[in-house]
Amino acid sequence: MALLLLLYCVVALLAAGLLTIAIARRPFARVLVYGTSLLTSLISLCVAVSILLGVAAASSLRLPLGLPWIGANFALDPLSAFFLAVVALGSAAASLFALGYGRHEETPERVLPAYPLFLAAMQLVVLAADAFSFLLAWEFMSLTSWALVIAHHRVRENMYAGYVYLVMASFGTLSLLLAFGLLAGAGGAYGFDAIRAANPTGALAALVLILVLVGAGSKAGLVPLHAWLPLAHPAAPSHVSALMSGVMTKVAVYGFVRIVFDLLGPPAWWWSVLVLVLAGITCVLGVLYALMQHDLKRLLAYHTVENIGIIFIGLGLALAFKAYGMRVAAALALTAALLHVLNHSLFKSLLFFGSGAVLGATGERDMEHLGGLIHRMPHTAFAFLVGCVAISALPPLNGFVSEWLTFQAILLSPDLPSWGLKVLVPAVGALLALSAALAAACFVKAFGVTFLGRPRTNAAEVATETDRFSRASMFLVAGLCFLVGILPGFFIDALAPIAEQLVGARLPVQSTVEWLSIVPVAESRSSYNGLLVFLFITFSACLAAFVIHRLASDRLRRAPAWDCGYPEASPATQYTASSFAQPIRRVFGTVVFRARERGEMPPPGDMRPARLVVELHDLIWDALYAPVARGVMIAAERLNKLQFLTIRQYLSLVFSALVLLLLVLATWS
Amino acid sequence: MELAFNFAVQFAQMLLVLALAPLLTGFVRKVKARLLRRQGPPLLQPYRDLIRLMRKEVIVAESASWLFRVIPYLIFAATWVAAALVPTFRTGLLFSWTADLIAIIALLGSARFFLALAGLDVGTSFGGIGSSREVMIASLAEPAMLMIVFTLALIAGSTQLSTMAGFMVSPAVGLRVSLGLALIALIIVAIAENARIPVDNPATHLELTMVHEAMVLEYSGRHLALIDLTAELKLLLYISLIACLFAPWGIADKNAGALALATGVATYAGKLVVGGFLLALFETAIAKMRVFRVPEFLGAALMLGLLGTLLLFVSRSF
Amino acid sequence: MSFDAITAVLVIPLAAAAPGYRTTARLNVFAALLTCLAALTLLFGRPTAGAYFHVDDLNNVFILLTTFVGFTTSVFSASYIGHELDSGRLTPTFLRFYHAMYQLLMFAMNLALVANNIGLMWVAVELATLTTVLMVGIYRTHEALEAAWKYFILGSVGIALALFGTILVYMAARPVIGEGLDAMIWTVLVQRAREFDPALLNLAFVFLLLGYGTKVGLAPLHAWLPDAHAEGPTPISAVLSGLLLNVALYALLRFKMLLAGNPGALSPGPLMVTMGLVSLVFASFMLYRRRDIKRMFAYSSIEHMGIITFAFGMGGPLANFAGLLHMAMHSLTKSAIFFAVGHIAHVKGTQKIADMGGLTETNPVLGWGLVLGVVAIAGLPPLGIFMSEFLVVSSTFAREPLLAIPLVFGILLALGALFLRLNTIAFGEVRGPTMSSEASYVPMFAHLAIVFVAGIYLPAPLVAWLQNVAKLLG
Amino acid sequence: MRGLGFDIAHLLAGSLVLVSFMQLYQDRLSALINTFALHAVVLALSVAWQAYIQDAPHLYVTAALALVFKAIIIPVALQRIIVRLGIHREIEKVVGVGITMLFGMGLVALSMVLMLRVTAEADPLAREDLAFALAVVLLGLLMMVTRRNAVSQVVGFMSLENGLVLAATGAKGMPLVVEISVAFSILIAFIVIGIFLFRIRERFDTIDVGALDRFRGERT
C-alpha cells in the first residue's frame, strides 16, 4: 500500500512541525526536524520511483476528512509519482543541506516549525485527488512558505516580499478555485474522477484553461505574474529558497499539467498559442532581468522564471501536438518539459545551496562584494560551477538534454496543420535559443564575479569552506545533474508512462539504444549521446595534457598578473557584475528596461569622484501592479470619508436605502 | 572489420582536422599578406609558433585558480571533439550520431563559456572586458546559429550532419530563398565566432576594441598554444561546416571505396583553400567595426535566420 | 424534559440577571455554562412547536452557537474585566451592571432564537439591541457615549422599521389565517405562505430587510457597528460580532423562508445578494485605512456578514450549507480574534495599530494566536473559513459567474488589508510598551482549535444536520 | 355606519399625515414639541375610533397610553429639558422647508402607490389606514434626516412610532403583544434618551448631534 506509506510520511512531517513549535529553541530541534524531513523524503522518493518504474502499482485512497460528502481523496498515478519524486528529491537534498546550514539560523523558532509543514503541503498537493484537498494543500503550501519567507521579519524587504507573495498566492488560488468551480459545476462534484468523467469542452474548457494559466502561472512565475517570485525566493533562508525555486514552482507546473492535460477535455489548438506566447516572453524576460541583478539569490530567482518559461514552451508544444492528434510529437514535447522540470529542480537547488553556503561564509548576497571565493571555498565553487554549466544548457550536463529535446520537438512543428503555429513555433524557438545564450552569459557573470578574480571585500577575503553536510548535499545534487546529463535515456524511459497517461503515446525505448544514446524520433533525424561526448572530451583533454607534459615542457612559474603591463593592485579595478552586464544591457536593456546611463562628472578642480548612474525600470510592475495598488489606495481613501459622517447623515443613508427599495418595489411588477 | 575501418576513418578525421587547422590559418595569413603586397609569414609559421610556445615555461598569475590551468585543455578538447564530428571528406562517420548539429554548437558554447570564465579568473580589467564582450557577441551569435540550424533542419528534416549533407547533394533540395539567407547568416556567424574582422581583430593586442585576445591576455606557454590551436580548429570547423552544408559535392558517403575517399579528401582540401581565400579577401576588403555596431551585425544574422525559417513555408513550393 | 430545556435556556440568564447589581463574574460564568448545557440537551429532545416557542434544526444551530460562545466569552470577560477595574476604567457598580446586562443580553438573544411568534422575536431582538447599547456606553468616555448614541439612534430606527415589517406580515396573514395570535405564529405562517398577498409580503420584506439588516450590519446600514465594537468592552465586541449579528440574520432568514414560500412574491435572493456584495466590497476597502485595531476587525465582521448574506441570498443546498458553516466559523474565529485583541489592548495599553509592533517577539503566544486568527479570518487553510469560502465561491461561479467576480475581488481585497496591518502588529521591529495581560488564553485557543478541526474534519451527523437545515432554507 | 366609520377613520388617519407635515413645517423647538403633542392627540383619537369600530376594547388602552404618554408627559418633559438645557430655540434645518415639503409629498405619493398594489381583498379600511401609516413613518424618518437638533430628532422618531401604532391598530385583531411592545419600546426609548440627554449635557453642554462628531475615533 504505497499511498498509505506516503501519507504516513506526510503525517510524520506534520507531527514534527507541530511538535517543534514547543521545542524550536532547543539545539536538538534542528537535527530532529531536518532529520525527520530527510528520512521521510527519502522514503517517499523510493515509493515514487518504484511507482514510476512500475514496481508498485498506482493506487487511490479516500479518507473521511475534508469536504464531508466528498472526503479527502488521494491518488498516486505516474504523473503524481513523478512530481512526488521531484518534490521528495528536492526536499531530501534541502534537508541534508540544512542539517549543516541550519546552524547559521538566528531565529530557528520561526523556521523549524514551518519547514516540515511546507514539505508536507507540497507532497499533499501532488497526492490530492479532489478539488478541495488539492486547493487546501496548495494554499497551505503558500501559507507555510510565507511563514518561511518572513522568518527574518525584522528586515523590511522581507515583510514586503512576504506581503506581495501572500497576496499573489491567494490571487492564484482564487482563480484556481474559480476554475474548479467551473469544472465541478453547480452540483459540486469536486472529485477528480467526477471531473474527468464530466470531460468539459468548448468555451467552458477555454475559460478553465485561462483561469488555470493565471492560477498555476502566478505560482510558477509566468510573466507577467512573476512579480512576487524574485522578491520572495531570496528572502527565505537559502535551503528554503532552494525548495521554493526548485520544487514549489514545479508543484505549480504539476497543477497546470494535472488540470489541463488530465482533467480538461481535448485541447483546442489556440490554447497552445496562448501558452507558447506567454512562455516565450517569460523565458527571455526572465533571463534579461537576471542579467541586470547583482544580488546572487535574486539572480537565481529570476532564472527560475526563465526556466519556467522553458518548461511551459514544452507544455505548449505538447498541447499543440495533442490538439492535432500528433501523439508521438506530443509525447516528445511533454517528455522534454517534464525532464526539464527534473533538471531545473536539481540544478536550481544546487545553485541556491551554493549561494547559501556563500551567504553563510561571507554574510553577503551581493556579488559586487564577493570574488575569489574559489580559493577559499573550493568545493562549494566546484559544485556551483557544475550547476552553472548545467543551467546554461551546456553538454554534457543535464540542462542541455532537456533543451535539446525541446528543440527537437520544435523541429517537428512544420507538420502542424495550423499556419499560425507553423509561424509561431520557430519564433518561440528563437526566443528559447536567445534565452539559452543569455543564460550562459549570465552564469559566466554569476560564477566569474562571485568565485573568480580577487576578493572585493574583507568578508570575501576571510571566507572559509562550508560545513560537511552542506557540501555532501551539494555534491550529491551535482552528481545527479551529471548522471542525468550522461545517461538521459533511463530518465526519459521513466517518463514514458506519464506520456502514455496524458497524450496516449510514448517515446521509443531509449535505454536499449546502442551506446546508450538518445534517439527521440529516428536516428537519421537526430540523436545525442551525453556519455560519449563526455568520454571523448575527457579522453582528448587527458591526451592533450599527457602529450604536452611529456613531449613539451610542464614547467610553471607564479608571477604577478601581467595585464598588458599595467597591473593594478586594487581589486576594485576588476570587472563587477554590472560592468560585466553593461554590453548586454546596452543591447537589450534600453528597450526592455528603458535603461539609462548618466555620467556625473564633477567640474575641474572638484575632488569628488565621477559617478556613473544606471537607472532601470521594471515596465511590467509599472504598467500592471503599481496602477492596481494605487487604485485600491485611492478608492480606500475616497470611501474612508464614510467613517466620519454625522449620525444624521448615516440616517439619511438608511433613509435613502429605504426609499430606493420602496421605489424599486413600486416599479417592480 | 567494418567497425575497425569506420573507427580508422573516424580517427583519421580527428588527426586530419588537428593537422590541417594551423595550416589553414597560415594560409589565410599568407593570402592576406599577399593581398596587401607583403611577403607575409611562411605557410608553416603557425606550427612553429605552437611548438615554440609549448616549449616555453608557463607563467601563471598569483591570483589565478586551478580553473585557469584546466580550462585550456577543456576548451581544446571540446572544440576538437566538435571538429571531429563534422563530416569533412566522408559522411556517416562512426560517431557522427554522438552529437547532431545542435549538440556541436552547444559544445562550442561550452568551450566559450569556460574561456570567458578564464578571462575573469585572474581578476584583471582586460580579462573582464574580453569576457563581457565575448558573451555579448555569443548571446546573439548562438541564437542566430540555431535559427540557421532550424532552417536547414526543416529543409533536410534532420539535425544529423551526415543526413543533412546527404540531403543537400540529393536533387530533392531545390534552389531556395531560405538556403541563401541561411548561408549569409552562417557566414556572418562564422566570422563573429572566429573573432575575425570586422567583429574582432585576431592580429592585435592592446586595442580596446579587442575581444578574444583580451580574454586570453594572461595566458602563456603551452596554455596559450592550446588556446591558439583551439581557435585554429574552430576556424577549420566552421569552414568545413559551411562546406559540408552548402557545398557537399564530392564528399564520400558511408559505404564508399578508397577512390571515393581519395576524391573526398581532395575536394575537401579544395574547399578549404577556397574558403580560406574568400575569408582573407573579405577581411582585407573591409575594416574593423566598433564593438557596439557588432550587435546590429549579428542581429542581422539572427533576423536572416528567422526569416529563412519563416520563408520556408512560403518557398516550400518551388 | 425538553420544554425545560427551552425554559432553562431562557430562565437561567434571567435569573442570573435578576439579582442584577449583585451578580459577580463567577456567577456570570456559571450561568452561561448552565445555559450552554441546557442548550445541549436540546440536541436530544425537541419540544413540539408551541404558540410562543419552538425549536427546529435551523434555530438549534444558532442556539448552540450562541450559548457556547456566550459561555467562552463569559470565561474570557471574567478574567478580562478585572483588569478594567484595576485600570480604573470601570467602577464596581458599573461592573455589576455589566454582568447583569450580559445575562440579560444572553436571555434576549436566546429568546429571539426560540421565539415562534414573530412579534415575540421582534421584542427579543430589540431587547438585545438596547442592552448592548447600554453596554457599549459603559465606559462613559466621549467616544463611548458617541458610539452608543449613534448605535441607539440607528438601532431604534431599525427597531421601528422591523416592527412595521412585522405588522405588514400580520396584515398579509390575517385574511388567510384569520385574526388573532395564529396570524403571528411562524410555523403556521410558513405553511400558508403561498396564499398571502404578495404585494404586502414584498413591502414587509423590504422593511424587515432594512430593520433587521441594520442589526446585521449590512452596508449602508452598518454605521453603528464599527464604533460600537471599537468603544465598547472587548467581550461585548466579541459577543456583538459573534452572536448578535447572527441573531439578526436569523430573523431575516425566517422571513426569507416565508417569502420563498410564496410564488407571487419577489424572490428575496437578489436583494440579499446585492446587499451582501455591497457590504463585502465596501468593508474590504474600508479595512485599508483603519488605525484602530478593534474598528478594523469590526469592519472585517461587516465583510463576513456580507459573504454570509450573499451565500444565503444565492440559496441552494451548497450555498446555504456554506453560509451556515461560514457563519459558525466566523462567530468562533471573530470572537477568538477579539479575545486576542483584548489581550493586546492590555499588553500595549492602546488600540492604535501604529503603537503596536513585533508582537510575535515580545508575546509569542499572543502574537501567533493573533496571526492564526487573522489567517483563519482571511480564509486561508487549513482553517474552517477556507472550506466555507471554497464552497461559496466555487458554487457561485458555476451558477452565476458574474457574481463571483466581485465576491472574489472583495475577499482578496480584505486579505490584502488584513495582512498589511498584521505585518505591522505581529512582525517587524517592536513598538509600544509590553505590559502583562492576566486574562486567560483558554477561550481564544479553544475557539481556534475548533475552527482548525472544522477546517479539515466535519463529523458526519453535524454535516447531515447542516445539510438538512440548508434544505430547509431552500 | 360602515361607510361612516370608514370615513372617520380615514379622516383621522389623513389628519395624522397632515400634522406630520405641520411638524416638518415648524422651525422652533417648543412649537415643534407642541405640534408633536397634537400629533399624539390625533393618533389617540384614531386609535380610539378604531377601538370603537372594531369593538376591540383593548385598543382603548392603547389610545389612553398614546394620549397620556405622548400627548402630555413626553411633551412636557421635553419642554422641561430644553428649558433646563437652555438650548437656543432655533432649529438648524439641513434643507429648506419648501424642499422638505416637496419631498414629503413625494413620500406620501410613494406610499399610496405601494399600498394600491395591495389586492383589495385585504379590507379597504386596513389598506387606506396602512397607506397613511406608511406615509407617517416615512415623514417621521424624513424629519429625523432633515433636522440637526437631537430633540427634534427624538420628536421625529416618536412621530415615526406614532405611524407604527396607527398601522398596528389598523391591523384588525392584532394581538396585545404588539401594543405592549410598542409602549414598551417607546418607554425604553424615552428612558434611554433621557439618560443620554442627561449624560450628553454633562459632557457636551449641548445636544447638537454635530458636536458629537468631534469625538469620533480615528479623526486624529
With CB atoms and an 8 Å threshold, state whether A441 touches B73: no
**Which residues neighbour B53 within 8 Å (Cβ) at sequence distance 6 or greater?**
B220, B221, B222, B224, B225, B228
- Chain B positions in Cβ-Cβ contact with residue A553 (cut-off 8 Å): 54-58, 221-222
Q: What angle do CA C325, C330, C334 make, to 5 degrees?
A: 160
Number of domains forming the structure of chain B:
1
Q: Which helix (H) or strand (E) holds D72?
A: none
- Chain A positions in Cβ-Cβ contact with residue C463 (cut-off 8 Å): 68-69
- Chain A positions in Cβ-Cβ contact with residue C409 (cut-off 8 Å): none
- Chain D positions in Cβ-Cβ contact with residue A652 (cut-off 8 Å): 145
- Chain A positions in Cβ-Cβ contact with residue B103 (cut-off 8 Å): 395, 400, 404, 528, 533
Shared domain check, C275 and C401: yes
Query: In this structure, is residue D88 part of a structural domain?
Result: yes
Residue window 88-107, chain C: list those with CB within 8 Å of chain D. none
Query: Which set of grid coordinates corresponds to residue C252?
Result: 431575516
What is residue A465's predicted lDDT score, i.e. its pLDDT?
A: 92
Average pLDDT over residues D43-61: 84
- Chain A positions in Cβ-Cβ contact with residue C382 (cut-off 8 Å): 136, 140
With CB atoms and an 8 Å threshold, state whether A648 touches D218: no
Query: In this structure, is residue D96 part of a structural domain?
Result: yes
**Which residues neighbour A483 within 8 Å (Cβ) at sequence distance 6 or greater?**
A398
- The minimum CA-CA distance between D53 and chain A, rounded to whole Å, is 31
Query: Which set of grid coordinates corresponds to residue A93?
Result: 537534498
Best B10, B97, B164, B204 member to test A by mutation, with max A CBs in 10 Å, is: B97
What is residue C143's predicted lDDT score, i.e. its pLDDT?
A: 82
- Rounded to whole angstroms, the Cα distance separating C81 from B60 reads 80
Alpha carbon of A332 to those of A250, A335, A411: distances in Å?
Answer: 19, 5, 11
A69 interfacial to chain C (CB closer than 8 Å): yes
- The minimum CA-CA distance between B211 and chain A, rounded to whole Å, is 12
Query: In this structure, is residue D220 part of a structural domain?
Result: no
With CB atoms and an 8 Å threshold, state whether D185 touches C119: no
Q: How high is the mean pLDDT in each 10-residue block of chain A (669 residues)?
A: 90 93 86 94 94 87 88 93 96 95 88 95 95 95 95 92 96 95 86 88 89 95 92 94 95 96 90 95 94 94 96 96 94 96 96 95 92 94 96 93 94 87 90 94 95 92 92 96 94 93 90 84 85 93 92 87 78 88 88 85 86 86 93 94 85 93 85
Top-confidence residue, D88 or B18: B18
Query: In this structure, is residue D217 part of a structural domain?
Result: no
CA nearest to A72, candidates C464, C467, C448, C387? C387
Alpha carbon of C38 to those of C3, C83, C105: distances in Å?
Answer: 10, 30, 17
A131 interfacial to chain C (CB closer than 8 Å): yes
pLDDT at D83 over 80: no
What is residue D204's predicted lDDT score, i.e. its pLDDT?
A: 40
Q: How do beta strands A59-63 and A611-615 pair?
A: unpaired
With CB atoms and an 8 Å threshold, state whether A583 touches B292: yes
CA nearest to D131, candidates D147, D120, D143? D120
Query: In this structure, is residue D175 part of a structural domain?
Result: yes
Q: How far apart are the first and last CA of chain D?
A: 67
A153 interfacial to chain C (CB closer than 8 Å): yes
With CB atoms and an 8 Å threshold, state whether B58 touches A556: yes
Inter-residue contact D107 to D139 (CB < 8 Å):
yes
D219 pLDDT band, cuts 50/70/90, is very low
Return phi, psi of residue C53, to 5°: -120, 150
Residue in chain C nearest A152 by alpha carbon:
C428
Which residue has cell 526543416?
Answer: B154
CA nearest to C325, candidates C352, C350, C343, C307? C307
- Rounded to whole angstroms, the Cα distance separating B239 from B278 reads 11
- The minimum CA-CA distance between C23 and chain D, rounded to whole Å, is 22
Residue in chain C nearest D160 by alpha carbon:
C160
Best A422, A537, A579 member to test B by mutation, with max B CBs in 10 Å, is: A537
Query: Which set of grid coordinates corresponds to residue A315?
Result: 507544455
Best C118, C145, C167 member to test D by mutation, with max D CBs in 10 Å, is: C167
- Rounded to whole angstroms, the Cα distance separating A39 from A361 reads 27
- Rounded to whole angstroms, the Cα distance separating C17 from C11 reads 10
- The minimum CA-CA distance between C358 and chain A, rounded to whole Å, is 8
Shared domain check, C358 and C300: yes
Query: In this structure, is residue C207 part of a structural domain?
Result: no
Q: Which helix (H) or strand (E) holds C138?
A: none
Top-confidence residue, B207 or D43: D43
Containing structural domain, residue C95: 1-164+221-256
Return phi, psi of residue B59, to 5°: -110, 120
Residue in chain B nearest A418 by alpha carbon:
B313
With CB atoms and an 8 Å threshold, state whether D209 touches A665: no
C463 interfacial to chain A (CB closer than 8 Å): yes
Shared domain check, C287 and C250: no
Top-confidence residue, A663 or D209: A663
What is the interface size between A and C, counted as CB pairs within 8 Å? Answer: 166
Residue D55 CB-density burial (10 A; 0-12 exposed, 13-18 middle, 19+ buried):
exposed
What is residue A644's predicted lDDT score, i.e. its pLDDT?
A: 83
> According to DSSP H, which parts of chain B are helical?
2-35, 45-55, 66-85, 101-121, 125-156, 161-169, 177-193, 212-215, 221-246, 258-285, 294-315
- Rounded to whole angstroms, the Cα distance separating A442 from A435 reads 10
Shared domain check, C90 and C4: yes
Residue window 162-191, chain C: list those with CB within 8 Å of chain D. 163-164, 166-168, 170-172, 174-175, 179-181, 183-184
What is residue B6's predicted lDDT score, i.e. its pLDDT?
A: 83
Alpha carbon of A18 to those of A8, A11, A14: distances in Å?
Answer: 15, 11, 6
**Which residues neighbour A258 within 8 Å (Cβ) at sequence distance 6 or greater?**
A79, A80
- Rounded to whole angstroms, the Cα distance separating B87 from B10 reads 10
Shared domain check, C456 and C315: yes
Which chains reach chain A with 3 or more Cβ–Cβ distances below 8 angstroms?
B, C, D
Q: What angle do CA C235, C239, C245 make, to 5 degrees?
A: 150
Choose among C149, C171, C230: nearest Cβ to D130. C171
What is residue D202's predicted lDDT score, i.e. its pLDDT?
A: 41
CA nearest to C58, candidates C72, C42, C36? C42
The three-state secondary structure class of A63 is strand
The three-state secondary structure class of B208 is coil
* C232, C256, C280 - which closes a domain: C256
Choose among B112, B122, B139: nearest Cβ to A561. B122
Residue window 84-123, chain B: list those with CB within 8 Å of chain A. 84, 95, 97-100, 102-103, 106-107, 109-110, 112-113, 116-117, 119-123
Q: Buried b / exposed e across A443-453, counting CB within 10 Å, b at 16+?
A: bbbbbbbbbbb
With CB atoms and an 8 Å threshold, state whether D217 touches C230: yes
Query: In this structure, is residue D20 part of a structural domain?
Result: yes
Containing structural domain, residue B20: 2-315
Number of domains forming the structure of chain C:
2
- DSSP annotation of D147 reads B
- Chain A positions in Cβ-Cβ contact with residue D218 (cut-off 8 Å): 643-644
- Rounded to whole angstroms, the Cα distance separating D200 from D115 reads 41
User: pLDDT below 50 — which residues of chain B?
Assistant: 317-318
The three-state secondary structure class of A83 is helix
What is residue C2's predicted lDDT score, i.e. its pLDDT?
A: 45
Top-confidence residue, C10 or A419: A419
Query: In this structure, is residue C213 part of a structural domain?
Result: no
Shared domain check, C148 and C245: yes
Average pLDDT over residues C405-431: 94
With CB atoms and an 8 Å threshold, state whether C429 touches A140: no
- Chain C positions in Cβ-Cβ contact with residue D167 (cut-off 8 Å): 164, 167-168
Residue window 472-501, chain A: list those with CB within 8 Å of chain B. none
Query: In this structure, is residue C339 part of a structural domain?
Result: yes
Window from B19-28, C19-28, C240-249 with minimum mean pLDDT: C19-28
> Do A and B touch, counting CB pairs below 8 Å (3 needed)?
yes
HSE-up of residue A177 (Cα within 13 Å, Cβ side): 33
Shared domain check, C289 and C236: no
Choose among D161, D172, D189: nearest Cβ to C179. D172
Inter-residue contact C393 to C411 (CB < 8 Å):
yes
A198 interfacial to chain C (CB closer than 8 Å): no
pLDDT at C5 over 80: no
What is residue C4's predicted lDDT score, i.e. its pLDDT?
A: 60
- Rounded to whole angstroms, the Cα distance separating C314 from A181 reads 15
pLDDT at D217 over 80: no
- Rounded to whole angstroms, the Cα distance separating A302 from A288 reads 9
With CB atoms and an 8 Å threshold, state whether D177 touches C168: no
- Chain C positions in Cβ-Cβ contact with residue A154 (cut-off 8 Å): 358, 428-429
- The minimum CA-CA distance between C400 and chain D, rounded to whole Å, is 31
C150 pLDDT band, cuts 50/70/90, is confident
CA nearest to A13, candidates A112, A102, A129, A158? A112
With CB atoms and an 8 Å threshold, state whether A646 touches D213: yes
Query: In this structure, is residue D113 part of a structural domain?
Result: yes
C335-382: pLDDT as tens digits: 999 999 999 988 888 889 988 888 998 889 999 999 999 999 999 988
- Rounded to whole angstroms, the Cα distance separating A661 from C17 reads 40
Shared domain check, C226 and C367: no
